[in-house]
Chains A and B, each alone.
Chain A
Amino acid sequence: MRKVITGNQAAAWGVRLAKAQVISAYPITPQTTIIEEIAEFIDRGDFSARFIKVESEHSAMSGCIGAAAAGARTFTATSAQGLALMHEMLHWAGSGRLPIVMVNVNRALAPGWTIWCDQNDSLSQRDTGWIQLYCESAQEVLDTVLIAYKLAEKTLIPVMILLDAFFLSHTAESVEIPDQETVDAFLPALDFPYKLDVENPAALFGAALPDIYQEFRFKQQTAFDTVIDELHRIESEYFQRFGRQYGEIESYKCEDADIVLITSGTVTSTAREVIDRRRENGEKIGILKMKLLRPFPTLSLASALKSARKAAVIDRDISPGCGGIWAQEIKASLSDVPESQRPVIFSCIAGLGGRDITTETIEQAIDITIKDDFPAQEIYWLGLK
């Protein structure tokens, strides 16, 4: 079935097809239409799930944690301030190793008060023990929800799926909605091995003394180490059933590229247009789309950038006092690669607080990167007034 739906509706469809059992959520723009759509599915009887209305995002995640601990497939969605309020519970879910799936619609953080797009909200939750997957299209959102449940349930790591506010959350496009039977075959019911059971009582998440705490973290890291391989396996099954796959990164025309633009989210689509046009002029430019933030795809990134001389990272975010967060991550991960086999990184900040990143912005980033052999500035502020 093909439908014209928004990114948020695509997320809701993904949750419905995944047969999530408990949705515990609190409204916040621009996420609200996800849970509204889910509520309508439930109300119409198209989707059988328990919808828990809670009083805050902290409680929304707590509800998911409780339900997941009881063995239910759970879902929540939030944005910006909501995600920030959820912070403590993100750790509980992450280190509690509960296979929760959440959609966060990337919205800039206040103050100044805003509802528009940037990625600071989720990037600042980098260390909470969640897998993070950034999406570019509504189709990718739907597919990623289904893939995320399988990945979370296989690795016992919760997954956060990221959508750019409005550019993706509220923009409608044609989406292929898979049939339920095929989804069921791909994603069987959850069987959480540590679920609470009245017949065999246990308390989860009790104390860990200094003699054992570190071992829990070791195990968590070990689990993260398996994520990329699992993702490959799951996506290859997904591809067989549904004909689509995305990868932890996507390398677009990088093979012979001298200069690579590194993007995430919807900026990638705009960049594709620019690159296609400039390639017609003979410029060897490619795009590297970052989908996975955690675990960080160091090896695939290094491999994709092997032949590039220079790369421009477009960050729709900033770690104040340091710079673009994606740029930091990329620089750090490439530091072990010999200089001859890695590009010089140009760090560009653009589109904060929902400002449009247009083709002109992308052109500017490319021009800056072409102009100098080494960056003249630590940060290039694109379109700064």
Chain B
Amino acid sequence: MSEDKPIIIQGYQDIPPMTVARGRMSVNDTGSWRNAEPLYIDHTSPCNFHCPAGNDVVKFLRLTAEGKYNQAWLTILKTSPLPGICGRVCPHPCETYCNRGQLGGRIRIHDIERFLADVNIDSKYSLPKIKYPQGKIAVIGAGPAGLSCAWQLNHYGYPVTVFEKHKLAGGILAVGIPRFRLPVEVRKREIGLISQCGTEIVTGVEIGKDITFAEIREKFAAVFIGVGYHHSYSLEIEGENHPDVVPGLSFLKKTALTKPFDLKRQVVVIGGGNTAVDTARTAFRLGAKVTVLYRRTRAEMPAIPDEIDELLEEGIAIEFLTNPVKIHSSQGEITHIECVRMKLGEPDASGRRKPIPIEGTNFKIETEQVFTAIGESADLAFLSDSIKTQRWGISTDEFGRTEVSGLFAGGDASTGEGTVTSAIGSGRKTAIAIKKFLEGEESEKEDLIPPALVNVNSHVVTLENLNLDYFTALKPIEIPCASPQERITSFEEIHRTIDEEQALYEAQRCLSCGSCPKCDNCYIFCPDAAIHRSLEPSKNYIIDIKHCKGCGICAAECPRFCIELRSLMQS
């Protein structure tokens, strides 16, 4: 807008035949008539709100939709160094809460994330040199929490050394999740990027055995513990001390590390989580006849629903409402497992209905081997007694700080949240606390807010908030997937990465809830031409409040709830 310049008119000779304004009409600031005021601000997208890692999902989808795959990938890297891994193994709550789910089908966000990781396989990424060589940080455990923490600290300019007791880096990604879900090369590629960016990863070194915890504390300015859950709960039933009663996780580890394992012909897997499902599918691929026992019903199974579907497609049976009672052996070999049928009672503390045994329904399932997968906990034997623990593991505050100065913890071993994505989020948030600790600053509540949720209205956009006149139901893409027959004879990855055409289509299906993609609707519809395109990159539009009459058309015609109309009437 040009500056107001007074125009001096002596008479009719000085004027055109009609009024022509070349600048702002200062005589008529119609904004003074307003009884409501539009506020141009993004609102929280449900995908962003529900991403435990804190990714800016809506942004990387938009960049993908625009074909800017490198920028989209870099957007993810800001909050997560593991898009290729998360794109494969994450239970994707972003999709569960996706508003598109009510309008054709949820956006296949994880497939797009995976596409971005794969399409950027040759993209360069590097960091400037370490800024603070004195602020050395030790991370115990090279799982997603530790790697995420290290990644962020490298970006802040700190050197990090990660200690990993297994020979492979990745924690559960390396030794828990089977190859048919997460190929080795994907894990190596992404962990490789973290190493290239300055993190030193030392594998095969166990704290408390190869090096003492005290020594670590002494050598490093701060320590992050992210040892995960590697200790399996026992069944607490008679007969479980038999050598063929094996934690499912141990079996998966040995398979991953290609150590010898004596797999029997007929096995049962006890549990309903991802470890149980992975154990069953791995054993099945190795030739065993597998039955899964679960004490509740399908609806309560904590495993990722798609994985349960795939297990069933592959021909593995699940005995629901079934609990083991006793493991029977004869002449040193397991013969069968005695079980009892269950029914569901009232909801328990977890919100799921509590299973109750039905008396007199005991029955036998023949088996030669039993895999337990009823839950895991942290193995914290290496810690000194002075460090407090709670139900999930190490006690920390919300920033990941333990009561011991300079000692931090995150991931499953302190939160018990149980997913790769929440471990990434936990590692990222704790990195902020570590940085602040090293710089002598106090952690603040704002540190816990993922970058994508800063400077946006905290209201999580619902479908009702959108202007559905602008959107039609569109079907999601079909994800390329091997047939069950192909799958069960191999450890090849089941799903394939979607192609570019699919990624574009799927990303363009995104409703961009609450996130302004510069559609120009407000600009076009404003009857007073009071909305201008902004020249600042951080903001798309400016509302000229001097001429806005508060009619609300901009807010009504915004398809994505990026303009809010606030009443100025005194209530």
Instruction: Show the binding face of A for B, using Cβ within 8 Å.
Output: 95-97, 156, 194, 200-209, 211-212, 215-216, 218-220, 223
Set A200, A201, A209, A220: member contacting B17, Cβ < 8 A = A220
Which residues on A sit within 8 Å (CB–CB) of B22? Answer: 200-202
The smallest C-beta distance from B29 to any residue of chain A, in angstroms, reads: 11
With A206-B25, A206-B28 known as contacts, the answer to whether A216 contacts B19 (CB < 8 A) is yes
Which residues on B sit within 8 Å (CB–CB) of A202? Answer: 20-22
Set B20, B21, B27, B529: member contacting A209, Cβ < 8 A = B27
Set B11, B18, B25, B529: member contacting A194, Cβ < 8 A = B18
Give the secondary structure class of B's interface: loop
Beta-carbon contacts of B501-537 to A below 8 Å, as 1s and 0s? 0000000000000000000000000000100000000
Which residues on B sit within 8 Å (CB–CB) of A209? Answer: 27
At the interface, yes or no: B351 with Cβ under 8 Å from chain A? no
Does B25 contact A205, Cβ atoms closer than 8 Å? no
Which residues on B sit within 8 Å (CB–CB) of A201? Answer: 22
At the interface, yes or no: B9 with Cβ under 8 Å from chain A? yes
Does B17 contact A203, Cβ atoms closer than 8 Å? no
The smallest C-beta distance from A201 to any residue of chain B, in angstroms, reads: 7
CA distance A212 to B16 in the complex (A): 11
At the interface, yes or no: B568 with Cβ under 8 Å from chain A? no
**Taking CB as reference atom, which chain B residue is nearest A220?**
B17
At the interface, yes or no: B12 with Cβ under 8 Å from chain A? yes
Does A206 contact B17, Cβ atoms closer than 8 Å? no
Set A200, A204, A211, A223: member contacting B19, Cβ < 8 A = A204
The smallest C-beta distance from A2 to any residue of chain B, in angstroms, reads: 40
Does A97 contact B17, Cβ atoms closer than 8 Å? yes
Does A204 contact B20, Cβ atoms closer than 8 Å? yes
Beta-carbon contacts of B25-65 to A below 8 Å, as 1s and 0s? 10110000000000000000000000000000000000000
**Taking CB as reference atom, which chain B residue is nearest A200?**
B22
Does A194 contact B20, Cβ atoms closer than 8 Å? yes
CA distance A204 to B18 in the complex (A): 7
Does A215 contact B12, Cβ atoms closer than 8 Å? yes
The smallest C-beta distance from A295 to any residue of chain B, in angstroms, reads: 16
At the interface, yes or no: B404 with Cβ under 8 Å from chain A? no
CA distance A333 to B328 in the complex (A): 122
The smallest C-beta distance from A207 to any residue of chain B, in angstroms, reads: 5
B interface bracket (residues with beta carbon within 8 Å of A): 10 to 19
**Taking CB as reference atom, which chain B residue is nearest A155?**
B17
Which residues on A sit within 8 Å (CB–CB) of B28? Answer: 206-207
Which residues on A sit within 8 Å (CB–CB) of B12? Answer: 215-216, 218-219
Which residues on A sit within 8 Å (CB–CB) of B349? Answer: none
The smallest C-beta distance from B31 to any residue of chain A, in angstroms, reads: 14
The smallest C-beta distance from B5 to any residue of chain A, in angstroms, reads: 14
25 chain-A/chain-B pairs, Cβ below 8 angstroms: A96-B18, A194-B16, A194-B17, A201-B22, A202-B20, A203-B20, A203-B25, A204-B18, A204-B19, A204-B20, A205-B19, A206-B20, A206-B21, A206-B25, A206-B28, A207-B25, A207-B28, A212-B9, A215-B11, A215-B12, A215-B15, A219-B15, A219-B17, A220-B17, A223-B17
CA distance A212 to B27 in the complex (A): 13
With A212-B9, A215-B12 known as contacts, the answer to whether A95 contacts B27 (CB < 8 A) is no
**Taking CB as reference atom, which chain B residue is nearest A69?**
B18
The smallest C-beta distance from A206 to any residue of chain B, in angstroms, reads: 4
Which residues on A sit within 8 Å (CB–CB) of B9? Answer: 211-212, 215
Which 9 pairs show the lowest CB-CB distances between chains A and B? A215-B12, A97-B17, A206-B21, A203-B21, A207-B28, A97-B18, A206-B19, A206-B25, A96-B18
CA distance A94 to B418 in the complex (A): 74
Beta-carbon contacts of B527-560 to A below 8 Å, as 1s and 0s? 0010000000000000000000000000000000
CA distance A212 to B19 in the complex (A): 10
CA distance A207 to B23 in the complex (A): 12
Which residues on B sit within 8 Å (CB–CB) of A96? Answer: 18
**Taking CB as reference atom, which chain B residue is nearest A157?**
B17
CA distance A212 to B6 in the complex (A): 14
Which residues on A sit within 8 Å (CB–CB) of B20? Answer: 194, 202-204, 206
Which residues on B sit within 8 Å (CB–CB) of A215? Answer: 9, 11-12, 15
CA distance A202 to B18 in the complex (A): 12
With A206-B28, A207-B27 known as contacts, the answer to whether A216 contacts B15 (CB < 8 A) is yes
Which residues on A sit within 8 Å (CB–CB) of B17? Answer: 97, 156, 194, 216, 219-220, 223
CA distance A203 to B529 in the complex (A): 10
**Taking CB as reference atom, which chain B residue is nearest A206?**
B21
Does B15 contact A95, Cβ atoms closer than 8 Å? no
The smallest C-beta distance from A223 to any residue of chain B, in angstroms, reads: 7
The smallest C-beta distance from A191 to any residue of chain B, in angstroms, reads: 15
Which residues on B sit within 8 Å (CB–CB) of A194? Answer: 16-18, 20
Which residues on A sit within 8 Å (CB–CB) of B19? Answer: 204-208, 216
Which residues on B sit within 8 Å (CB–CB) of A208? Answer: 19
Which residues on B sit within 8 Å (CB–CB) of A212? Answer: 9, 15
**Taking CB as reference atom, which chain B residue is nearest A211?**
B9
Which residues on A sit within 8 Å (CB–CB) of B15? Answer: 212, 215-216, 219
CA distance A194 to B15 in the complex (A): 12
With A215-B11, A219-B12 known as contacts, the answer to whether A205 contacts B18 (CB < 8 A) is yes
Which residues on B sit within 8 Å (CB–CB) of A223? Answer: 17
17 additional A-B residue pairs with CB within 8 Å, beyond A95-B18, A97-B18, A205-B18: A96-B18, A156-B17, A194-B17, A202-B20, A203-B21, A204-B18, A204-B19, A205-B19, A206-B20, A206-B21, A206-B25, A207-B25, A208-B19, A211-B9, A215-B15, A219-B15, A220-B17
Does A216 contact B25, Cβ atoms closer than 8 Å? no
Which residues on B sit within 8 Å (CB–CB) of A211? Answer: 9
The smallest C-beta distance from A283 to any residue of chain B, in angstroms, reads: 49
Which residues on A sit within 8 Å (CB–CB) of B21? Answer: 202-204, 206
Which residues on B sit within 8 Å (CB–CB) of A97? Answer: 17-18
Which residues on A sit within 8 Å (CB–CB) of B11? Answer: 215
**Taking CB as reference atom, which chain A residue is nearest B15?**
A215
CA distance A209 to B19 in the complex (A): 11
CA distance A215 to B17 in the complex (A): 9
CA distance A185 to B25 in the complex (A): 41
**Taking CB as reference atom, which chain A residue is nearest B14?**
A215
CA distance A204 to B9 in the complex (A): 18
Beta-carbon contacts of B404-432 to A below 8 Å, as 1s and 0s? 00000000000000000000000000000
Interface centre among A203, A205, A211, A218 (most CB of B within 10 A): A203
CA distance A201 to B11 in the complex (A): 24
Which residues on B sit within 8 Å (CB–CB) of A220? Answer: 17
CA distance A201 to B24 in the complex (A): 11
CA distance A201 to B22 in the complex (A): 6
**Taking CB as reference atom, which chain B residue is nearest A218?**
B12
CA distance A189 to B19 in the complex (A): 24
CA distance A200 to B15 in the complex (A): 18
**Taking CB as reference atom, which chain B residue is nearest A217?**
B12
Which residues on B sit within 8 Å (CB–CB) of A206? Answer: 19-21, 25, 28
Which residues on B sit within 8 Å (CB–CB) of A207? Answer: 19, 25, 27-28
Which residues on B sit within 8 Å (CB–CB) of A200? Answer: 22
The smallest C-beta distance from B9 to any residue of chain A, in angstroms, reads: 6
CA distance A204 to B22 in the complex (A): 9
CA distance A223 to B18 in the complex (A): 12
CA distance A218 to B12 in the complex (A): 8
**Taking CB as reference atom, which chain A residue is nearest B12?**
A215
Which residues on A sit within 8 Å (CB–CB) of B25? Answer: 203, 206-207
**Taking CB as reference atom, which chain A residue is nearest B24?**
A203
**Taking CB as reference atom, which chain B residue is nearest A223?**
B17
Interface centre among B11, B18, B19 (most CB of A within 10 A): B18
**Taking CB as reference atom, which chain A residue is nearest B2?**
A201
CA distance A156 to B20 in the complex (A): 15
